[in-house]
A and B are shown apart, each in its own frame.
Chain A
């Protein structure tokens, strides 16, 4: 059985690796369309991490919303704002080296802090079911839940207006 545990552990690290690779590609690739596809890879990787962490509901929501929703939006925008011809315009600005150093410093800081903090780990790892999330959403978090609904409506209207008013201007 140890073999199986080892395999599953390796599997988890492979997922981590693929996710990080996807993320790196997403932030460095010059072709923005490829970057978007890499983002999809990252998102699916994160969803897989959720599945590994026994947060299946979140994983499914992640795929449904991010991959099915946000990714489509991003790609649509890429398509609408990029002329098919120019695909590989340099997409990074001139501050990448200082930023890279800064980001690495931050990562170092994070790693140190994670190492230093005495985490109070529970003896039994928690598993959250979708039913619990649902009940929590309509009891403890009912107010933020409703607020989110309001925000979504506002955003719906705002987006429609943003997209629409311009058409009017173009026509007139």
Chain B
């Protein structure tokens, strides 16, 4: 089996990729995709720790399940909001949705 480090390297790379996407994407759905990647990186970490270091290994996996569930729920709401924004403003590019300024 591969050592724990490698999986942690993998998950942190995944996380940084997601972070990069979340910060550099202009498309709302793109940002959402990046956020999902970041959440997945977190899940990989949880599962890895559950396998290698966890005192109660079950807990980490239960947390991962909660994360998956809530990510699904959050995606549903986020996409509903995206649809609403699109209907009202006819755009889903974040630099065009800037009504929040002053």
> Does a CB–CB distance below 8 Å link A and B in the complex?
yes
Give complex CA distance A88, B33 in Å: 17
Residues of chain B from 31 to 84 with CB closer than 8 A to chain A in the complex:
32-34, 36-37, 40, 43-44, 47-48, 50-54, 57-59, 61-62, 64-66, 68-77, 79-84
- Cα–Cα distance between A115 and B27 once the two chains are bound (Å): 36
Interface residues in A45-94 by Cβ distance below 8 A to B read 46, 49-50, 53-55, 57-58, 61-62, 65-66, 69-70, 73-74, 76-78, 80-81, 90-93
Other contacts beyond A65-B69, A102-B23: 11, CB < 8 A: A23-B18, A27-B24, A50-B44, A50-B47, A55-B61, A58-B43, A58-B61, A58-B68, A69-B72, A127-B57, A128-B57
Give the residue among A12, A58, A78, A133 with the most B Cβ atoms within 10 A. A58
Chain A residues within 8 Å of B, Cβ to Cβ = 9, 12-13, 16, 19-20, 23-24, 26-28, 32, 35-36, 39, 42-43, 46, 49-50, 53-55, 57-58, 61-62, 65-66, 69-70, 73-74, 76-78, 80-81, 90-93, 95-96, 99-100, 102-104, 106-107, 110-111, 114-115, 119-122, 125-128, 132-133, 136-137, 140-141, 144, 148, 151-152, 155, 158-159, 162-163, 166, 170
Q: Which residues of chain B come closer than 8 Å to A32, judged between CB atoms?
A: 27, 29-30
The residue of chain B having its C-beta at the shortest distance from the C-beta of A28 within the complex is B21
The reply to whether B58 and A132 contact each other, CB–CB distance below 8 Å, is yes
A20 contacts B13, CB within 8 Å? yes
Query: Whole-angstrom distance between the alpha carbons of A121 and B11 in the complex?
Result: 18
Minimum CB distance partner of B38 in chain A: A23
Interface of B is mostly: helix
Q: How far is the CA of A92 from the CA of B44 in the complex (A)?
A: 27
